[in-house]
């Protein structure tokens, strides 16, 4: 694995966590201004931070993943992958196009 790619992924992960914590802290500061008890404030901040982290992670995954779908009409088979080489991506593209079960849900 390339060191610059690993470093870039770690930086993106760190920024994702930092943004989620910033959103949680922002909500916490707003709620503290209304005199919300500390226990409730902590629960709200952690809930908002974890929801934000999930959302930011899903956005990052959607932006960095590749999806290969079956070429048969009305078939819902798909393969989604992240951080693979061009050869591996091509191999999965061929698998998606020629998979044995074509289902329509």
Q: How confident is the model at residue 101 (pLDDT cuts 50, 70, 90)?
A: confident
First to last CA, the chain: 38
By C-alpha distance, which of 47, 3, 58, 1 is closest to 25? 47
Q: What is the pLDDT of residue 95?
A: 85
Distance CA 17, CA 81 (A): 22
pLDDT (tens digit, 9 = 90+) per residue, 13-33?
Answer: 999 999 999 999 999 999 999
pLDDT average, residue stretch 31-37: 95
DSSP collapsed to 3 states, 49-77? HHHHHHHHHHHHHHHHEEEEECCCCCCCC
Q: How confident is the model at residue 38 (pLDDT cuts 50, 70, 90)?
A: very high
How sure is the predictor about 105, in pLDDT bands with cuts at 50, 70 and 90? low
- Residues 43-94 have pLDDT tens digits of 999 999 999 999 999 998 888 888 888 888 888 888 888 888 888 889 988 8
Distance, CA of 31 to CA of 26 (rounded, Å):
9
């Amino acid at each position: 694995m390339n060191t610059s790619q690993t470093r870039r992924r770690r930086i993106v992960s760190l920024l994702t966590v930092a943004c989620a914590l910033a959103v949680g802290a922002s909500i916490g500061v707003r709620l503290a201004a209304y005199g919300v008890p500390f226990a409730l404030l902590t629960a709200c901040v952690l809930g908002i931070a974890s929801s934000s982290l999930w959302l930011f992670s899903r956005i990052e995954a959607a932006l960095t993943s590749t999806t290969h779908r079956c070429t048969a009409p009305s078939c819902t088979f798909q393969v989604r992958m992240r951080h693979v080489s061009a050869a591996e991506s091509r191999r999965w593209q061929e698998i998606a196009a020629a998979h044995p079960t074509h289902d329509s849900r």
